[in-house]
Chains A and B, each alone.
Chain A
Amino acid sequence: MTRPAHRVATAAIGIRPSTMQIYLPIAEISLDVFLLLGIGGLIGFLSGLFGVGGGFLMTPLLLFIGVPPAVAVATQANSVVATSVSGVLAHWSRGNVDFKMGLVLLAGGFAGSTVGVALFSVLRGLGQIEIVISFTYVATLGIVGVLMLLESSRAVLRRRRKVPTRRKLHQHHWVHGLPLKMRFRRSRLYISAVLPLAVGFAVGVLSAIMGVGGGFILVPAMIYLLGMPTAVVIGTSLFQIIFVAANVTLLQAAQNQTVDVVLALILLAGSVVGAQFGTRVGARMQGDALRLLLAVLVLGVGIKLVVDLFTPPIDFYSLGSA
């Protein structure tokens, strides 16, 4: 079952099949080290290019090469911890982390990821975890992809026509009427703490189920929902993602025993190198063009998952993943 999938994956990515197989002690399958390093490198490249964790791409790729869903999701959270740490350290040195906002998001994130892991265990017991992971991916990738595609293509067109952009100094929505107002100095915001708490909670649940840091959901939510300055957003989101992903790792390890450290380390080694190249290429590109590319990528993954959902399986029957 795992072997043919592996072969297909190798061919699709265009890497010559080699014989450097490594046995993953928790996933209990053996995969090619170079294939795993390649996946890590590709994700690292994209993450360096777009400034997101890239977990939303890595989990589907791991599933594709035959890693059991439960292991893929839990291990992904573990490697997100490492990627986020290196990202936060870089942003911190530039003063782009709003720790107060991060901590409020974190409070929501902790509650959310605890609920998410418990939900994950229940769904796994019911045998519905694969479909829930797929649906969550399709929904979030679809929504984020479409929104980003619209926003970035408008921005690209505006740049082409050289229309000056006008922005309101302050946007007032119903959310500003919520209680528990707090001041976030670095983000230059005075808003209700309920809003970042809710955003943190939602992203926490999703990250536990999808095994992602939630960067690609959190970043737009912080920009558009909370109204934070873009410069502070990435560092702050990465800061809170460290803790949420660490919490997911701990809970997945304790409750489901599905964190594969060996797999996480190989992926990480690849993504560190890939991120270097990604950052360099990204520095030479326009911001809106980058966002447009990311939107196309996000939508592409989403469409692939939708097609899979509607494609009849090879066999109606399948063994439960242990």
Chain B
Amino acid sequence: MSRLALLLLLALAALPRPAAADIVADVDEHLVGITTGFAGTRILVFGSIDAPGHVVVVVRGPSGPEKLYRKSPVLGVWVNSAALTFVQVPSFYAVASTGPLEEIASESERKRLHLGVDQLELQAVGRVSENLLREWRQALVRAMERAQLYWTEPGEVLLLNDRLFRVTFELPAAVSTGTYLVEAYLFEDGVAVAAQTLPLVVNKVGFEAAIYSFAQQQAPLYGLAAIVVALLAGWIAHLIFRRE
């Protein structure tokens, strides 16, 4: 009997709550292909909410280690004198909302969902004092911002009739490849009441992908091919020169 009740409870929990507020979102392209002409791209995230509230949209790039260097002058020359490696650094991070993030989401919610660049959990390899780590974290965020990979200022989500929303994100040409996550949240009274997560794949395709995987997987052969191409190009150049 109790087992049956448990099963029923689980089934109910799995079902969408009909009365609760919900958010539906989608992106215009689920696959961003990096082709020869790729110079960055724009991602449109759109959707609707079925209860009044605030919308927050986050785009996160695939995470990986990132090494940061600090320059200091040695006899007047600026050299890299210190380095720190961070683990699990999102390669892209942008957040947009229908209003100021601090007013929409409570501090505990921002912390829990990692909303805003200041809430990213950037952990360093090895033991670093808290003060020093804070300084390096800020520097990492600045460096990512200069590369147009982090948005320190939240973008604006446009809300129409308190129902439809849309927002565009710009990915620069230097974006990392991999699976990105687009998260859309509906906030009521500082708490996220509904959420949807969409995957977005950024990958080199066609010629670019072929060259890259050739260079990575058959590195010595790629080197030989590069030399042969150069030899041929030089020979052709000589033929053209001679004719002139």
Contacts and interface: CB of A to CB of B under 8 A. Distances in A.
Contacts of A319: 66-69, 140, 143-144, 147
Interface size class of A (residues with CB under 8 A): 35 or more
Interface string A249-268: 11111110101011011001
Interface string B122-149: 0000000000000010011011101110
Contacts of B37: 21-23
A33 to B, nearest CB: 10
B40 to A, nearest CB: 7
Grouping DSSP codes into helix (H, G, I), strand (E, B) and loop, the B interface class, with mixed when no group exceeds half, is helix
A85 B241 CA distance: 12
B86 to A, nearest CB: 10
A265 B229 CA distance: 9
Contact of B233 (A25, A26, A265, A310): A265
Contacts of B31: none
B112 interface: no
A223 to B, nearest CB: 24
A259 B80 contact: no
Given A23-B38, A86-B238, A318-B71, A261 B226 contact: yes
B51 interface: no
Interface stretch (B5-13, B54-62, B93-101, B216-224): B216-224
B32 interface: no
Interface in B22-55: 34-40
Interface in A60-98: 78-79, 81-86, 89-90
Contacts of B68: 317-320
Interface in A272-321: 272, 275-276, 309-320
Interface string A105-134: 000000000000000000000011011000
B173 interface: yes
A151 interface: no
B226 A317 contact: no
Given A79-B230, A128-B79, A264-B230, A3 B139 contact: no
Contacts of B77: 131, 309-310
A2 interface: yes
B16 interface: no
A85 B235 CA distance: 6
Interface stretch (B159-167, B180-188, B192-200, B207-215): B207-215
B113 interface: no
Interface of A: 1-3, 19, 21-23, 25-26, 28-30, 78-79, 81-86, 89-90, 127-128, 130-131, 246, 249-255, 257, 259, 261-262, 264-265, 268, 272, 275-276, 309-320
Task: List the 9 closest A-B pairs by CB distance, nearest first.
Answer: A85-B234, A253-B223, A317-B139, A81-B230, A30-B173, A21-B39, A320-B67, A82-B234, A250-B223
